[in-house]
Amino acid sequence: MKITDIIAHTVTVPLEAPLRHSNGVHWGRFVRTVVEVHTDEGIVGWGEMGGGGESAQLAFQGLKPYLVGHDPFELEQLRFKICNPTASLYNNRTQLLAAIEFACLDIMGKKLGVPVHRLLGGKLRDRVPFASYLFFRYPNERTGEGEVRTVEQLVEHTRQLKERYGFTTHKLKGGVFDPAYELECYRALAAAFPHDRLRFDPNAAYSVEQSIAFARAIEDLNNDYLEDPTWGLNGMRRVREKTRLPLATNTVVVNFEQLAQNILQPAVDVILLDTTFWGGIRPCLKAAAVCETFQYSVAVHSSGELGIQLATMLHLGAVVPNMPFAIDAHYHQLADDILAGGKMPYENGSMAVPDGPGLGIEVDRDKLAYYEEEFARLGGYPYDRDPHRPDWFPLIPNDRWADPRRVR
């Protein structure tokens, strides 16, 4: 079997409301570049990049000379064709590799008539548990609904998600407001849902000293872990030395060299594996095996996925043994998806692992075309800017906090 063509589509899919984070805002929609890989046997595989845009589409076109004629089963050869380590110093293609790897695994599963998790060693669980992913949110520009800014709004929003989807673990994305206010919000969640698990992630916006103070102030709560309170392996190590809480990361351990450094000089306890950041499902599985060897736990990270990447997260979550935590997903924040039949369903805070051939998903080409047209109409947006604070940008560590008294 040989690859005959690679076609990239950039889509923009609406969110329920704009999502605020430490670097800016998701402006009421996600922008993702989706890739379809065609073969000489008529099998088409689907992949999805973390983020995307016009430049990503051009980058995928630039891979055609590398990949047309390549056997999609030859994934190690593919890795070195696209991401040779020394060549990547000049042109990092990790995200491109991830999308192509997803598509090749999809092709392999369809060719063999088996789901991807069978190609990865077989599933250990039929369903994967999810955490609610809580954001401070601006109101929806069209409806005026969906705002999450006050303590009361946050607790009510969490209650609605719990009732609708069955979540029993809740992750709050912070780094937007002053740490004292976010601590108030987090403790309010703990009081409102005393039997549920919690985790907090300010996206490395806090100083080491602020991180230590925040960690000590929540040690009495039902925490899974504290995720990326500060920047850098050494910063995280200093925090870890001063708290009883496990620390987790998806920012300072995102490749094998950083993983090795963390094992030699521990700075974090839980490695959050992202199938796009690491270059595919298989690198995540390799990293999980290293973690298992040294008794580290892992979980699955979310980078703003549509259904294609979500399927890769489910297959990864199904096969990794050392994953004692619910995984993250932005998915419930989406108003729609490009999958046939609409969004994948939650049940009791979990999702079924797809058992169909390949990734086990089908793309709705009408929706794909519609949201591709929407991207052509609306264009992209800067992830690291807030449209309601046009002159603002954050520092690391940050001290330019938003005012929780202001709607915008």
Residue 361, class by beta-carbon neighbours within 10 Å (0-12 exposed, 13-18 middle, 19+ buried)? buried
User: Tokens 């250990």 — which residue?
Assistant: 124
Please give the Cα distance from 207 to 281 (Å, whole number).
33
Cα(13)–Cα(51) distance, rounded to whole angstroms?
A: 12
Is the previous residue joined to 390 through a cis bond, with omega within 30 degrees of 0?
no
CA distance linking residue 309 with residue 37, whole number of Å: 15
Contact 318, 125 (CB under 8 A): yes
User: Taking a C-beta distance cutoff of 8 angstroms, is the pair 328, 171 a contact?
Assistant: yes
The CA-to-CA distance between both ends of the chain, in Å, stands at 54
Angle at 133 between CA 129 and CA 135, to 5 degrees: 175
Nearest alpha carbon to residue 149 among 179, 176, 171: 176
Tell the burial category of 82 from Cβ atoms under 10 Å away from its Cβ (0-12, 13-18, 19+).
buried
Does 129 sit behind a cis peptide bond, omega within 30 degrees of 0 on the bond before it? no
Name the residue among 329, 273, 327, 319 with its Cα closest to residue 296. 273
Catalytically annotated residues = 173, 301
Q: What token pair was written down for 9?
A: 């589509």
